[in-house]
C-alpha cells in the first residue's frame, strides 16, 4: 500500500512544529521559574529590610529616629540593661552570670546603721556590747539633675580723688555672649541631642519637670549659633586633617529631610568621609540633597591619596580627574553575599562559601597587621599570604558566573565582586590601607 507523499510531509512538518513548540515552552517555563525565583528573593529582601530596621530600633531606642539628628533643629527653628559579665577566652567570649562590680572611682557616701543605746548591753549579764566588725553592702544611687542660676557679680571701682572713669572687673568669655545659657547648659543640650539622640521637644519636657520653661525653638537657635560660631572652625580643621591624610574611606547614605524644596519622599544624602589612624580617626558627615558627581568632587578637593569606596560610578570619574588611587571596599562586596545567604533562608551554600572565603582574607590580613606597623613589611606579607586567597576567590567566582542568573541576588553579588576586582585587589599593592 502506497502512502501519499504529501501526508508524510505534513506529518513531518507537524512533528517539527510540535517539537519547536515544546522547546519554546520549556524555555518559557525556565524563564518563568527563574523570574519567580528572583521575585521571591526580592520579596525576601524587602522583608529583611523591614525586619532589620525594626530590630535596630528595638535594640537601641535612642537611635531609632537618628534620621532626625541632622534636620530636627531646622524644622523646629522656624535594649534592656544586663548584669552579664563577659570573660574573653582565646576562641570566643562566654557570658558569666552575675552582677557587675560597681566602679571603684565612683564617690562613696557612708550611711551608718548602729544599734540603739538601749540595745548595746548584754541581755544576759548587762555588760556593754563590744563592736567586733561591720557588714557592708553597696547600692547604686542617682542624684537627680537640678537647675541653678549663676549670678555673675562684677565689682566696679572708681577713684574718689579724681575724675578717672570707673574700672569694672572683667569676666571670662562665654559661648553665646547675648544668651543667658551657661557653657554647662549648652554642653548638656548638645550632648543629649547629638550623642544620646534625645530630641529637643523631650528635653523641653525634662526642663519643665525641673521647674524651668525652656522653649525648644530657643534651644534650636542656640544649637545653630554654636554650630556656626564654634563648631565650624573645628570642622574646618578636621577637613584639612582629612584631606592631608593618605587614605579616605567614603560612602553616602539616604536620609529623610522633613522640610525641603524637594518632595518629602525624595532622597537626600549624607556623605561620610573617614580617615586617619585607628586611634585618631577623623569622621566627617556632609549633607547634600544631591548624589551627583559634584559632591564628591567638592569634598575631595585638595586630597591626593587612596580613595576607598563602593561601586558607585561617580567615584570613578572623580578619582580619574584627581588622579587618585581608587580602591574597592571589601565590606560592600561581603554584604551582597551575606544578603544572598540570608535571603535564601541560610540555605545557599555558594553564598555562605563566599562569606567564609572573604572572612578568611580578613583573618589573614588582621594577623599581618597585628604583627607589625611597617607598611613595607605589611605589603610584602600581603603579597605572599593574601594574594593566593584573593586570586583563588576571584577564579572561583569566574567559574560560577556562567552558572547563575545575573539578576538573582547571588548573581548580583558575584558580578559586583568581579566588576570591582581591579579595585578590591588594590590593597595588595599597599601596606597603609
Q: Map grid coordinates 534592656 to a residue.
A: 80
**H-only helix segments in 103-231:** 183-194, 200-209, 216-226
Tell me the three cell numbers of residue 388: 593566593
Tell me the three cell numbers of residue 280: 585618631
Same domain for 347 and 284, yes or no, is no
* pLDDT, tens only, 188-238: 999 999 999 999 999 999 999 999 999 999 999 999 999 999 999 999 999
Across the chain, mean pLDDT equals 85
Same domain for 348 and 426, yes or no, is yes
| Predicted confidence band of residue 7 (pLDDT cuts 50, 70, 90) | low
- Whether the per-residue pLDDT at 290 is higher than 60: the answer is yes
Same domain for 353 and 309, yes or no, is no
Same domain for 371 and 272, yes or no, is no
For the chain, the straight-line distance linking the first and the last C-alpha, in angstroms and rounded, comes to: 87
DSSP string, 56-107: HHHH-GGGTTGGGGGTHHHHH--------EEEE-SS-EEEE-SPPPPPTTS-
* pLDDT, tens only, 373-412: 899 999 999 999 999 999 999 999 999 998 998 889 999 9
Longest dimension (CA), the chain: 152
Same domain for 224 and 263, yes or no, is no
**Is-contact 271 86, C-beta < 8 A?**
no
Q: Which helix (H) or strand (E) holds 165?
A: none
Last residue of a domain, one of 318, 344, 375: 318
Do the domain assignments include residue 210? yes
Higher pLDDT, 83 or 150: 150
Give the alpha-carbon dihedral of 117, 120, 124, 126, to 10 degrees: -70
Higher pLDDT, 52 or 311: 311
pLDDT value, residue 356: 96
Higher pLDDT, 33 or 136: 136
Do the domain assignments include residue 144? no
Same domain for 415 and 370, yes or no, is yes
Q: Which helix (H) or strand (E) holds 237?
A: helix 232-243
Q: Map grid coordinates 576567590 to a residue.
A: 393
pLDDT value, residue 395: 97
- Whether the per-residue pLDDT at 67 is higher than 60: the answer is no
CA angle 382, 313, 244 (to 5 degrees): 60
Last residue of a domain, one of 291, 318, 345: 318
| HSE, side-chain direction, 13 A CA sphere, residue 174 | 16
Phi, psi of 339, deg, nearest 5: -65, -45
* pLDDT, tens only, 331-361: 999 999 999 998 888 888 999 999 999 999 9
Do the domain assignments include residue 415? yes
Q: Map grid coordinates 580627574 to a residue.
A: 321
Domain count, the chain: 3
Higher pLDDT, 58 or 320: 320
Same domain for 272 and 352, yes or no, is no
Do the domain assignments include residue 124? no
CA angle 60, 61, 63 (to 5 degrees): 75
Do the domain assignments include residue 69? no
| Predicted confidence band of residue 41 (pLDDT cuts 50, 70, 90) | low
Find the domain containing 308 and state its range: 242-318
Do the domain assignments include residue 26? no
In angstroms, the CA 64 to CA 66 distance is 6
How much of the chain exceeds pLDDT 90, in percent? 64
Cβ burial, residue 21 (10 Å; 0-12/13-18/19+): exposed
**Is-contact 241 276, C-beta < 8 A?**
yes
Same domain for 346 and 283, yes or no, is no
Do the domain assignments include residue 393? yes
- Whole-Å CA distances, 422 to 209, 279, 285: 60, 29, 28
Same domain for 292 and 360, yes or no, is no
Sequence-distant (≥ 6) Cβ neighbours of residue 416 within 8 angstroms? 311, 332, 333, 336
Do the domain assignments include residue 263? yes
Same domain for 340 and 405, yes or no, is yes
**Is-contact 299 271, C-beta < 8 A?**
yes
Structure letter (DSSP) for residue 307: E
Cβ burial, residue 268 (10 Å; 0-12/13-18/19+): buried
Last residue of a domain, one of 288, 318, 348: 318
- Whether the per-residue pLDDT at 307 is higher than 50: the answer is yes
Residue range 71-76: mean pLDDT, rounded: 69
Residue range 79-85: mean pLDDT, rounded: 46
Question: What is the torsional sign of CA 347, 402, 359, 242?
Answer: negative
Residue range 152-181: mean pLDDT, rounded: 93
**Is-contact 179 116, C-beta < 8 A?**
no
In angstroms, the CA 217 to CA 186 distance is 14
pLDDT value, residue 432: 79
Same domain for 353 and 425, yes or no, is yes
**Is-contact 354 337, C-beta < 8 A?**
yes
pLDDT value, residue 61: 40
- Whether the per-residue pLDDT at 131 is higher than 60: the answer is yes
| Predicted confidence band of residue 97 (pLDDT cuts 50, 70, 90) | low
Q: Map grid coordinates 557679680 to a residue.
A: 153
- Whether the per-residue pLDDT at 321 is higher than 90: the answer is yes
Tell me the three cell numbers of residue 179: 544668651
In angstroms, the CA 285 to CA 274 distance is 9
Same domain for 372 and 403, yes or no, is yes
**Is-contact 330 362, C-beta < 8 A?**
yes
| Predicted confidence band of residue 60 (pLDDT cuts 50, 70, 90) | very low
In angstroms, the CA 77 to CA 200 distance is 11
Amino acid at each position: 500500500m502506497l502512502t501519499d507523499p504529501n501526508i508524510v510531509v505534513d506529518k513531518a512538518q507537524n512533528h517539527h512544529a510540535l517539537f519547536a513548540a515544546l522547546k519554546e515552552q520549556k524555555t518559557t517555563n525556565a524563564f518563568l521559574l527563574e523570574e519567580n525565583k528572583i521575585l521571591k528573593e526580592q520579596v525576601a529582601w524587602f522583608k529583611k529590610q523591614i525586619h532589620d530596621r525594626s530590630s535596630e530600633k528595638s535594640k537601641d531606642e535612642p537611635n531609632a529616629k537618628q534620621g532626625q539628628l541632622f534636620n530636627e533643629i531646622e524644622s523646629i527653628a522656624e535594649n534592656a540593661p544586663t548584669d552579664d559579665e563577659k570573660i574573653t577566652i582565646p576562641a570566643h567570649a562566654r557570658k558569666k552570670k552575675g552582677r557587675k562590680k560597681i566602679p571603684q572611682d565612683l564617690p562613696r557616701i557612708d550611711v551608718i546603721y548602729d544599734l540603739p543605746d538601749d540595745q548595746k548591753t548584754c541581755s544576759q549579764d548587762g555588760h556593754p556590747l563590744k563592736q567586733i566588725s561591720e557588714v557592708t553592702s553597696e547600692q547604686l544611687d542617682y542624684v537627680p539633675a537640678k537647675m541653678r542660676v549663676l549670678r555673675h557679680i562684677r565689682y566696679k571701682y572708681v577713684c574718689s580723688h579724681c575724675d578717672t572713669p570707673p574700672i569694672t572687673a572683667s569676666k571670662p568669655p562665654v559661648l553665646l555672649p547675648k544668651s543667658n545659657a551657661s557653657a554647662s547648659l549648652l554642653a548638656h543640650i548638645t550632648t543629649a541631642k547629638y550623642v544620646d539622640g534625645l530630641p529637643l521637644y523631650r528635653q523641653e519636657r525634662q526642663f519643665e519637670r525641673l521647674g524651668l520653661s525652656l522653649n525648644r525653638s530657643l534651644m534650636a537657635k542656640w544649637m545653630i549659633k554654636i554650630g556656626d560660631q564654634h563648631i565650624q572652625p573645628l570642622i574646618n580643621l578636621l577637613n584639612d586633617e582629612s584631606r592631608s591624610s593618605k587614605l579616605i574611606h567614603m560612602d553616602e547614605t539616604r536620609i529623610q529631610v522633613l522640610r525641603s524644596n524637594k518632595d518629602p519622599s525624595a532622597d537626600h544624602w549624607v556623605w561620610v568621609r573617614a580617615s586617619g589612624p585607628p586611634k585618631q580617626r577623623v569622621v566627617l558627615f556632609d549633607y547634600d540633597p544631591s548624589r551627583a558627581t559634584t559632591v564628591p568632587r567638592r569634598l575631595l578637593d585638595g586630597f591626593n591619596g587612596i580613595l576607598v569606596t563602593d561601586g558607585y560610578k561617580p567615584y570613578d570619574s572623580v578619582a580619574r580627574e584627581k588622579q587618585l588611587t581608587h580602591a574597592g571596599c571589601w565590606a560592600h562586596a561581603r554584604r551582597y553575599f551575606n544578603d544572598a545567604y540570608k535571603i535564601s533562608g541560610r540555605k545557599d551554600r555558594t553564598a555562605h562559601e563566599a562569606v567564609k572565603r572573604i572572612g578568611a582574607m580578613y583573618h589573614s590580613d588582621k594577623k599581618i597587621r597585628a604583627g607589625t606597623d611597617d607598611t613595607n613589611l605589611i605589603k610584602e606579607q600581603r603579597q605572599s599570604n593574601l594574594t593566593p586567597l584573593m586570586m583563588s576567590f576571584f577564579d572561583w567566582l569566574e567559574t560560577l558566573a556562567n552558572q547563575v542568573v545575573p539578576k538573582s541576588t547571588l548573581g548580583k553579588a558575584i558580578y559586583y565582586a568581579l566588576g570591582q576586582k581591579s579595585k578590591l585587589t588594590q590593597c595588595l599593592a599597599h601596606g597603609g590601607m
